């Protein structure tokens, strides 16, 4: 069985991936982070299909950081799929994106996003956001358990 992970980062921009991983590393919050680069890969990882079939039976991530604008399958469609499935609907999904579009925010919450955060441009602010995300979702939040 695959090793459990704390965070699944779904991000197509290599610079944002590097920045996010660096921010979590600097905060010493989690060393169990998996990265996927598009919506199709995210669904394969979560549902243990295709290249991720060996993950069958592995626990779900404790939190999913999901970008909105992704190749192949966009973030809102990934979110729809996660919230439609009994096994994945309770997994916290935080939209971490550069979009401030009101319709994007409203759609994400209507589908079931647990949080919507616009990526700060300044590195220090980004560090603070990732620290707060990690502390809240990984330390303070009591996760829902499957029925």
Where residue 26 falls among pLDDT bands split at 50, 70, 90?
Answer: confident
Phi/psi for 142 (5° steps) reads -95, 115
Q: What's this model's pTM, rounded to 2 decimal places?
A: 0.91
Calpha distance 141→145 (Å, rounded): 12
* Backbone region of residue 57 per phi and psi (left: phi > 0; alpha: psi in -120 to 50; beta: other values): left
- Catalogue all structural domains in the chain, each as residue range(s) with its CATH number: 7-136 (3.40.50.2300)
DSSP letter, residue 65: E
Residue 121: strand, helix, or coil: coil
Which is more confident, 109 or 139?
109
32-51 pLDDT, tens digit each = 899 999 999 999 999 999 99
Four-point Cα dihedral 37, 42, 46, 48, nearest 10: -80
DSSP letter, residue 62: S
Question: Of 112, 73, 115, which Cα lies nearest the Cα of 95?
Answer: 115
78-134 pLDDT, tens digit each = 999 999 999 999 999 999 999 999 999 999 999 999 999 999 888 888 888 888 887
CB 12 within 8 A of CB 119: no
The end-to-end CA distance of the chain, in Å, is 22
């Amino acid at each position: 069985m695959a090793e459990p992970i704390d965070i699944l980062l779904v991000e197509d921009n290599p610079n944002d991936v590097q920045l996010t991983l660096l921010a979590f590393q600097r905060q010493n919050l989690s060393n169990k982070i998996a990265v996927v680069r598009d919506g199709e890969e995210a669904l394969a990882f979560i549902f243990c299909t295709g290249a991720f079939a060996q993950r069958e039976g592995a626990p779900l991530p404790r939190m999913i950081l999901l970008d909105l604008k992704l190749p192949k399958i966009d973030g809102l469609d990934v979110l729809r799929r996660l919230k439609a499935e009994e096994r994945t609907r309770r997994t916290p999904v935080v939209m971490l994106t550069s979009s401030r579009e009101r319709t994007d925010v409203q759609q994400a919450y209507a589908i079931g996003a647990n949080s919507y955060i616009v990526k700060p441009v300044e590195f220090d602010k980004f560090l603070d956001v990732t620290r707060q995300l990690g502390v809240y979702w990984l330390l303070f939040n009591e996760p829902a358990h499957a029925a």
